[in-house]
Chains A and B, each alone.
Chain A
Amino acid sequence: MTVLSPAEEYRAALDTHRLTFQRCGACGHAWLPARSECPACWSDDLTREDASGGGTVVSWVVFHVAFDERYKGRTPYNVALIDLDEGPRLVTNIIEIPAEEDIIGRRVTLCFQEDMGRELLRFQLAEDATTSQQTD
């Protein structure tokens, strides 16, 4: 049986529409991206958990230049940072951002889209526009 690296395990879960993160068995710290040791206490006693799919926008940008050839013809497009409710942070795209709106602090929910030949992790703004307390 092939032993998957932490990054390969993460990717394999995404391919089945599961967003996962790691948690340390020694200190309880939770994080992304995948690692082989806990960045808080250096323990290698790690478990993998499923994220609930809820999160909050930390920041976002809009690309007007495509540095990546594959995104030529797709500008403008956004890339956003999300704090998952469980703590770990990740990079994603928001499926639609209303013009002229500052979405920092907005609640988001996970969805998957088939793109670039794989199942890509994306989020959409939640119906409820309540700003979460932790990013105020």
Chain B
Amino acid sequence: MAGTAVIAGIGQTAFGRVPDRTTISMNIEACRKAVSDAGIDKDAVDALLVKVPTSRVEMMYGQTLAEAMGLEPRFGGVFDQGGASNISMIGIAAMAIEAGQCDVALVCLADNPKTGSRQAYEKPWGEAADLGWSSVAAGYAMIAQRYRHEFAQAEDLWREIAIACRAHGAANPHAQLRKPLDADAYGASPWVVEPLRRDDCCLISDGAAAVVVMSETRARELGVTAPVPVLGFGQGNSSSDVILRPDLTQTRADVSAQTAFKMAGLSPRDMDCAQIYDCFSVTVAMTLESYGFGSRAALVEMAGAGGFRLGGALPLNTAGGLLSETGMPGLQLVLEGVRQMRGTSTSQVRDAKKCVVSNQGGIMHTHSTLILGQ
């Protein structure tokens, strides 16, 4: 089915501090803009898939949103894999369309941990809570410490990842953090949970994003002006708690990428840019390795040569990523992949024809991969 589904439209709200809005309200704004961008009527939408917000988890959220949007979807609901849900739901929408279960799907995400509750990110963990074991950042720090033990140049790689994302965010007028980062500022950045510095950690953000998924045929019939083909997708789930993984620096991102690249009939070397889930800098380093973009040594060499910046071998997170555009869990990376394929990014990669996007959730519990083309 490679190439049969397209992303027909994209929409988003403001990112950063968005007070006095419910996630329902922000979802509707993003969906309204995505449908408008696709140039279709609301009535064409017959499927709605949504990621549950972290700030307030509730049952039947998909139905609450559908009611507020006046929709009675043939197909839809919530799919919960944390941040990986976004790309997974695009894949589910594409398969549902192929199987005749629906025709035009909205996939959306809204969250407001910045002005609402960030309990999901800061909570204490189970039996070990009395030992001070708490927060998502600490789980990633546990991975990062092991990574640093295994690879002496770890911090050089993390720093270059953070600098590249921040440079691209600075060029994006919609980014929450538009302050570029240099090596000195990175080195002076305070520890959060050592070995992670503040500038290794993503933003906390309010906001929403949405995409419209349909078949290529339907897009032609509806006169969609800038459809972006979905060439491949896949997922892989480590699932177990980070502390129990036999190897802390390996996840099932490799399975996810292999599935997506196989579906697309492409390989990492065919990619012109990458939008990689950067909740923490170490996550990007591990994902690129798992995807087959090179060994840790090759990645640090690529990074040192400016490979992650615009004009480099693999421009990374060209809207700023979670480190700079918005810390929202993931769908914004798909929107930027779509803009790259349309040629409308604020850090446009010249002649970009293929883009890989990663989403992941929990403390690398879940992973999902999307490959976009033209």
Contact = CB atoms under 8 A, between A and B. Distances in A.
Interface string A65-97: 111101100101101010000000111110000
Query: Which of B125, B132, B134, B137 has the largest count of A CB atoms less than 10 A from its CB?
Result: B132
B44 interface: no
Contacts of B146: 58-59, 104
A127 to B, nearest CB: 22
A65 B196 CA distance: 11
Contacts of A63: 132, 138, 193-194
B193 A62 contact: yes
A33 B125 CA distance: 12
A76 B194 contact: yes
B95 to A, nearest CB: 29
Query: Which of B131, B143, B146, B194 has the largest count of A CB atoms less than 10 A from its CB?
Result: B131
A58 B150 CA distance: 12
A62 B243 CA distance: 15
Nearest to B146: A59
Interface in B133-173: 133-135, 137-138, 141-143, 145-146, 149
B145 A120 contact: no
B131 A61 contact: no
A37 interface: no
B195 A64 contact: no
Contacts, number: 91
Nearest to A60: B145
B59 interface: no
B292 interface: no
Interface residues of A, number: 35
Contacts of B125: 91
A79 B195 contact: no
Interface in A32-68: 33, 58-68
B145 A79 contact: no
A3 interface: no
Interface in B86-122: 122
Interface string B232-251: 00000000000110001000
Contacts of A118: 130
Contacts of B124: 67-68
B68 interface: no
Contacts of B137: 65, 67
B70 interface: no
A59 B149 contact: yes
Contacts of B130: 115-116, 118, 120
A115 B244 CA distance: 25
Given A65-B135, A67-B122, 12 more contacts: A60-B142, A61-B141, A63-B132, A63-B194, A64-B192, A67-B135, A67-B137, A68-B134, A71-B134, A79-B133, A81-B243, A91-B125
Listed from nearest, the 8 A-B pairs whose CB atoms lie closest are A91-B128, A62-B194, A61-B141, A67-B122, A64-B191, A67-B135, A59-B146, A116-B130
17 contacts: A61-B138, A63-B132, A65-B137, A65-B192, A65-B193, A67-B122, A67-B134, A70-B132, A71-B134, A74-B132, A79-B128, A81-B243, A81-B248, A89-B243, A89-B244, A118-B130, A121-B131
